């Protein structure tokens, strides 16, 4: 089943009278349970594409269908609801709330999803156990290592059992050992049926994916299956 269908998507910024085409006519289909890596040089539009897919950004033109529905026609609250239920974000810089414990950070999407407290605690604990942080639930971000923080972020992304995990350079701020651990978790999530889309610079990270697309100046220059499903 096609989860994401981008049709002739443009994202054009106007900087000082000059046109910057962050996305320049993107056509892309992503099916359920794909494991996709987006590569490309800096400034090629990878993050812009990710944000587009994650319903954080809206295209200047083109059609985006998410699970068959037109994203352009949704209002802010509907988009927020999709982000909450269907999409889990993992950022390069973790983006945890510094004053909240790991447990609470993971609970936040559930709070916005209006899930009762008991249920919430259970779900958050389970997500943290899944990423191997059973013994760090009540630590605050500054009491955790980078790799552990990223695992909290992943727990936060998967706690609402979303179908899609979007990870923008999830290992970019980590050493290679932590990076590998994070990739291990993403591999597992993929095996459990999630769709994984990640941005990376590194070939060995991209090798975890089953499909790699390359961007250059906002255009897809290469779309290759690395492994067969």
Binding site for ligand ATP (CB under 6 A): 13, 15, 20, 22, 40, 42-48
* Part of the chain binding another protein (CB under 8 A), chosen from 35-43, 91-99, 179-187, 211-219: 91-99
| Alpha-carbon gap, residue 72 to 79, rounded angstroms | 10
Give the angle subtended at the CA of 164 by the CAs of 163 and 169, to the nearest 5°.
155
Out of 91, 123, 189, 205, the residue judged to bind another protein by CB under 8 A: 91
DSSP 3-state of 196:
strand
Q: Which of 40, 45, 54, 141 binds another protein (CB under 8 A)?
A: 54
Q: Report helix, strand or coil for 49.
A: helix
Applying CB under 8 A, which of residues 7, 65, 81, 207 lies at the interface with another protein?
A: 81
CB under 8 A: which stretch of 23-31, 37-45, 94-102, 172-180 binds another protein? 94-102
CA angle centred on 13, ends 11 and 18, rounded to 5°: 135
Q: Where are the alpha helices (DSSP H) in 59-175?
A: 76-85, 102-112, 117-130, 146-158
Kindly report the number of other CB atoms within 10 A of residue 145's CB atom. Answer: 12
Q: Which of 46, 83, 211, 214 binds another protein (CB under 8 A)?
A: 83
Which of 77, 118, 224, 229 is the binder for another protein (CB under 8 A)? 77
Q: Which of residues 7-66 bind Mg ion (CB under 5 A)?
A: 47
| 5 vs 79 by CB, closer to another protein | 79
Residues 158-171: b if buried by 16+ CB within 10 A, e if exposed = bbbebebbbbbbbb
Q: Is the Cβ of residue 44 or residue 105 nearer to ligand ATP in the bound state?
A: 44
Residue 66 binds another protein, judged by CB under 8 A: no
Q: How many residues does the chain have?
A: 229
- Please report, as ranges, the residues that interact with another protein according to CB under 8 A: 51, 54, 56-57, 76-77, 80-81, 83-85, 88-89, 91, 95-97, 99, 108-109, 111-117, 156-157, 160
């Amino acid at each position: 089943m096609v989860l994401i269908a981008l049709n002739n998507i443009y994202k054009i910024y106007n900087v000082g009278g000059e046109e910057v085409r962050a996305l320049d006519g993107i056509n892309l289909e992503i099916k359920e349970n794909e494991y996709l890596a987006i590569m490309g040089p800096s400034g090629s539009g990878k993050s812009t594409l990710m944000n587009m897919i994650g319903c954080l950004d809206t295209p200047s033109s083109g059609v985006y269908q998410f699970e068959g529905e037109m994203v352009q026609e949704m209002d802010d609250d509907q988009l927020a609801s999709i982000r909450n239920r269907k999409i889990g974000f993992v950022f390069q810089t973790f983006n945890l709330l510094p004053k909240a414990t790991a447990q609470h950070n993971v609970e936040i999407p559930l709070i916005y999803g209006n899930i009762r407290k008991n249920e919430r605690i259970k779900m958050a604990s389970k997500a943290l156990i899944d990423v191997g942080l059973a013994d760090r639930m009540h630590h605050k971000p500054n009491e955790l290592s980078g790799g552990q923080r990223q695992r909290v972020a992943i727990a936060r992304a998967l706690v609402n059992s979303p179908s899609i995990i979007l990870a923008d350079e999830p290992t970019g701020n980590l050493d290679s050992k932590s990076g590998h651990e994070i990739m291990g978790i993403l591999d597992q999530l993929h095996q459990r049926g999630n769709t994984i889309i990640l941005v990376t610079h590194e070939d060995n990270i991209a090798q975890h994916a089953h499909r790699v697309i390359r961007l250059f100046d906002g255009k897809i220059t290469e779309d290759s299956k690395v492994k067969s499903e």
